[in-house]
C-alpha cells in the first residue's frame, strides 16, 4: 500500500472507486427522469437519489456518490402569465458497474416536473442533467430500462445462481427472499430481501466484493477524515465463490419496488466538501415480509403489493469511524440513520421544504427498526 501513498494521500490504500474533482460541467444538457427521496438527519435535510433515467428512457445510471442539494424558490416565470417555479440541483457521481473512476453529473429538477409519487414516499421527477464537456455518458450507464404503462420505469438487473437452479426458478415463476442482512452474516427478523445486481456476470473476486461477498469472507473499508492515516476495517461478509454464481437470469424490476440503498456520510474535511456515498451501488434489493416470494411473468417482476416491506429510514453511517463504516452493512442499529419523509400523501417536496425550513425533523420520530434474529 505504501506505493500508493503519493497518489492517495492519507488513505489506507487505493479505493475501489473514486471521483476526481469536477472542472466545470459544460457538456450537452440532456433530458431525463430521476427517482429520489427527501431525507432528514441531525442538522441536515437532503435529497437521496435512487436512479437517474436517461437516453430517452432506455438507460439508467446509479449514483456512487452525491452531494447536498441547492434549492431555489419562486424563480420568476418566463411569461407574464406564468407561475414561479421551484428548482433543486444536486451532483451525482456515476460509473459503470465495474468502473473505478466515477464522473460527475449535475441534475436539475423543477417543481413543475413531478411525474409520480411512489407508495413509499419516493418521487419521480422529470429532470435535466449535464456532465463534463467532451465526456461520453453512454459508457457510464448501469444498464437498460424501459417505460411502464403507469409512467414508472423497469430496470433490467440480474440474479446470479448455478445452472441446476435456473430451471427450478423458471418453473416456479417466483424468487425466494432471504433473511440475511446486507453483509450476509446475520439474519433479520422483520424483513427479507430478494437480491439482484447491475453486474451481468460474476467473473472474479472484485465482482464478488461489489455484491457484498468475498471468497475470503472479508471486505476491507477505510475511514475518511483528517487523520494522518485513515483507519481500516476488515468487515466479515458472506463467504461465496465465483463458482456459485455461474448462471444468470435477467429480470425487469419496477423502480417503485426497489428498496433505497444505505449510505455513508463523509463529513467536511478542508478543502473537500461533505458528500454521501451509496453503499453497494451494484446491489438492487426488493424488501419483503419474511418468507414472502417475488413472482415474475416472462422475466418481468410482478409483486403482490401486500408482501412488500417498507421502512421509513435508511442507515447513514459516519464514514469517519469504523463503527460508522460497518453500520450500513450490519443494518442492526438505529443510532446512525436518516429518516425518509413520506411524500405520498399529497405533500410536495418543495412546499414541504419551504414550510419546514431550518427546523428539527428528527427529534421525536418513531419508526419501525430492522430487528436482528438472536444468534442460533
For residue 367, tell me if it sits in a domain.
no
Residue 222: pLDDT over 80 = yes
For residue 11, tell me if it sits in a domain.
no
CB 185, CB 238: distance < 8 Å:
yes
Q: From CA 302, how far away is CA 253, in angstroms rounded?
A: 8
For residue 87, tell me if it sits in a domain.
yes
Q: How is residue 165 written as a grid cell? A: 437452479
pLDDT digits (tens, 9 = 90+) for 229-257: 999 999 999 999 999 999 999 999 999 99
pLDDT digits (tens, 9 = 90+) for 73-90: 999 876 565 678 999 999
Q: From CA 93, how far away is CA 171, in angstroms rounded?
A: 40
The stretch 359-364 carries a mean pLDDT of 95
CB 68, CB 90: distance < 8 Å:
yes
Alpha-carbon distances of 214 from 211, 299, 364, rounded to whole Å: 9, 28, 39
131: number of Cβ within 10 Å:
22
Split into its structural domains, the chain has a count of 1
pLDDT digits (tens, 9 = 90+) for 39-48: 999 999 999 9
For residue 375, tell me if it sits in a domain.
no
For residue 316, tell me if it sits in a domain.
yes
For residue 146, tell me if it sits in a domain.
yes
pLDDT digits (tens, 9 = 90+) for 145-192: 999 999 999 999 999 999 999 999 999 999 999 999 999 999 999 999
For residue 3, tell me if it sits in a domain.
no
3-state secondary structure of 79: coil
Residue 92, domain extent = 16-355
Q: From CA 125, how far away is CA 153, in angstroms rounded?
A: 12
pLDDT digits (tens, 9 = 90+) for 83-142: 789 999 999 999 999 999 999 999 999 999 999 999 999 999 999 999 999 999 999 999
pLDDT digits (tens, 9 = 90+) for 250-269: 999 999 999 999 999 999 99
* pLDDT at residue 1 in the model: 24
CB 119, CB 109: distance < 8 Å:
no
For residue 373, tell me if it sits in a domain.
no
Amino acid at each position: 500500500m505504501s506505493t500508493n501513498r503519493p497518489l492517495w494521500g492519507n488513505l489506507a490504500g487505493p479505493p475501489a472507486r473514486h471521483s476526481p474533482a469536477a472542472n466545470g460541467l459544460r457538456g450537452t444538457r440532456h433530458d431525463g427522469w430521476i427517482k429520489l427521496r427527501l431525507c432528514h438527519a441531525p442538522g441536515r435535510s437532503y435529497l437521496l437519489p435512487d436512479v437517474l433515467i436517461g437516453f430517452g428512457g432506455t438507460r439508467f445510471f446509479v449514483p456512487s456518490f452525491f452531494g447536498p442539494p441547492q434549492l431555489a424558490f419562486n424563480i420568476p416565470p418566463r411569461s407574464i402569465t406564468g407561475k414561479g417555479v421551484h428548482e433543486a440541483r444536486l451532483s451525482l457521481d456515476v460509473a459503470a458497474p465495474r468502473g473505478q473512476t466515477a464522473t460527475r453529473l449535475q441534475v436539475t429538477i423543477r417543481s413543475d416536473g413531478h411525474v409520480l409519487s411512489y407508495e413509499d414516499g419516493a418521487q419521480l421527477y422529470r429532470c435535466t442533467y449535464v456532465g463534463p464537456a467532451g465526456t461520453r455518458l453512454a459508457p457510464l450507464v448501469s444498464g437498460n430500462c424501459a417505460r411502464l404503462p403507469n409512467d414508472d420505469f423497469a430496470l433490467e438487473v440480474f440474479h446470479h445462481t448455478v445452472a441446476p437452479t435456473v430451471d427450478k426458478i423458471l418453473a416456479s415463476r417466483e424468487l425466494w427472499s432471504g433473511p440475511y442482512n446486507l453483509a450476509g452474516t446475520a439474519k433479520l427478523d422483520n424483513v427479507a430481501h430478494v437480491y439482484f445486481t447491475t453486474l451481468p456476470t460474476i467473473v472474479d473476486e472484485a465482482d464478488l466484493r461489489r455484491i457484498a461477498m468475498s471468497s475470503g469472507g472479508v471486505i476491507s473499508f477505510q475511514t475518511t477524515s483528517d487523520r494522518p492515516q485513515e483507519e481500516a476495517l476488515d468487515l466479515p461478509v458472506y463467504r461465496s465463490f465465483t463458482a456459485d454464481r455461474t448462471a444468470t437470469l435477467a429480470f425487469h424490476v419496477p423502480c417503485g419496488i426497489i428498496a433505497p440503498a444505505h449510505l455513508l456520510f463523509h463529513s467536511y474535511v478542508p478543502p473537500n466538501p461533505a458528500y454521501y456515498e451509496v453503499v453497494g451501488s451494484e446491489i438492487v434489493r426488493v424488501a419483503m415480509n419474511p418468507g414472502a416470494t417475488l413472482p415474475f411473468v416472462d422475466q418481468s417482476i410482478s409483486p403482490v403489493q401486500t408482501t412488500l416491506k417498507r421502512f421509513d429510514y435508511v442507515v447513514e453511517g459516519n464514514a469517519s469511524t469504523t463503527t460508522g463504516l460497518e453500520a450500513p452493512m450490519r443494518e442492526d442499529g438505529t443510532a446512525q440513520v436518516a429518516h425518509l419523509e413520506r411524500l405520498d400523501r399529497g405533500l410536495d417536496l418543495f412546499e414541504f421544504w419551504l414550510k419546514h425550513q431550518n427546523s428539527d425533523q428528527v427529534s421525536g420520530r418513531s419508526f419501525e427498526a430492522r430487528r436482528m434474529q438472536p444468534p442460533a
